[in-house]
Structure formats: structure tokens, C-alpha cells
Structure 1
Amino acid sequence: MPSISARVPDDDEDELEAVSELLDEDKSTVIRKALSEGLASIRRRVAIERYQSGELSVNEASRLAGVSLSEWLEIAREHNLTTQLSPEDIESDAAAAREL
């Protein structure tokens, strides 16, 4: 596993210590979990934004978010997402769904 060094503000270091104690885990483990959850959150946020703007189809958004098509549909429902899809986009999404 590669090692990464980063500087963090004092407030973040205090929060890291608090979460580490809360979870009863060492700081390295907490940092790995926070990084993993944060990256997944960023991927979902970008997918939501691009899907809402019409830049991505349902299938493309699910791939960008790193989730299954059914999980993406749940995310879209939770966020009341709508988009203007072309007939080609709909056919592409339908073809992808049939492959599942």
C-alpha cells in the first residue's frame, strides 16, 4: 500500500483525533476510511451534476458514480433528478439495462 503525506489544519487534526476515539481506531485507518468515503461522495456529486445538466445518460452517470444502475436510479429518485434525454440516450440506457 503506497504512503501519502499531507498537511492538515489544526481543526482537522482535532476532528481526526475525535473521530479516531469515537470509532476506537487508529488515525491511519480513519484517514483511509474518510478518503474512501470522500472520494465516493465526490464521484456521486459529479455524476448528479452532470446527469442533471443532461451531459450524461443514466448508464453513464451510474458508471461515473461507481454504482450499479439500480443504485443510480435510487440516487436519482432521492435527489428528484430530471434531465432532457435524447431518444438515442434512452435507447442506449435500455440496451444497457437489458444486458444486466
Structure 2
Amino acid sequence: MPSISARIPDDEREELEEVADLLDEDKSTTIRKALDEGLRSIRVRIAAERYQSGAVSVNEAARLAGVSLAEWLEIARERNLTTQLRPEDVERDAESATEL
């Protein structure tokens, strides 16, 4: 596994140590978990923004978020997302959904 180094402020280092203690894990494991959760959160946020603006379809939003179509539909429902998709986008997404 490759190694990455980063400089962080003292307060973030202290928070990292506190969370690692809460999880009863070492700092490296805690950093990997935080990075994984943070990247997923960013992907979902970007997908939601683009979907809401009508820039991407349901399938494209799911791909951007890194989740299945079913998971994306649940995320969109939970966030009350609406979009301004063209009819052909909706038809393409419906066809893709029936292929699942």
C-alpha cells in the first residue's frame, strides 16, 4: 500500500488522536476511514449538485457518486432532490433501470 504524508494543524492532529481513541484504532486506520468517508461524501455532494441543476441524469449522478442506481435513488429521495431533465434523459434512465 502506498504511503502519503500530509501536514495538519495541531488541532486536527489532536482531533485525529481523539477519534482514533474513540474507535480504539491506530491513527493510520482512522485516517483511511476518514478519507474514505470524506471522499464518498464529496462524491455524493457533487453528484447531488449536478443532478439538481439538471446537468446530469440519474445514471450519471449514480456513477459520479460511486453508488448503484438504487442507492442513488434513495439518496435523491432522502435529500428531496428534483431535476430539470429533458424527456429523452428520463427515457434513457428508464430504459437503463429496466435492464437492472
Normalising by the residue count of structure 1, what TM-score does the alignment of the two structures yield?
0.97
In the TM superposition, 1:67-82 aligns within 5 A as 67-82=67-82
Match of 2:84 in 1: 84
2:96 partner SS: helix
Residues in 2 aligned to 1:93 and 1:77: alpha-carbon distance in whole angstroms: 16
* Deviation at residue 26 of structure 1 after TM alignment: 0.2
RMSD: 0.6
Structure 2 residue ranges without an equivalent (≥5) = none
1:81 partner SS: coil
Match of 1:21 in 2: 21
Q: Give every structure 1 segment of 4 or more consecutive aligned residues whose post-TM-superposition deviation is greater than 2 Å.
A: none
2:18 partner SS: helix
* Deviation at residue 30 of structure 1 after TM alignment: 0.2
Q: Deviations over 1:3-51 (max 9, x none)?
A: 0000001110000000010000000000000001100000000000000
Structure 1 residue ranges without an equivalent (≥5) = none
Matched, 1:2 2:2: yes
User: Percent of pairs identical after alignment?
Assistant: 76
Aligned residues: 100
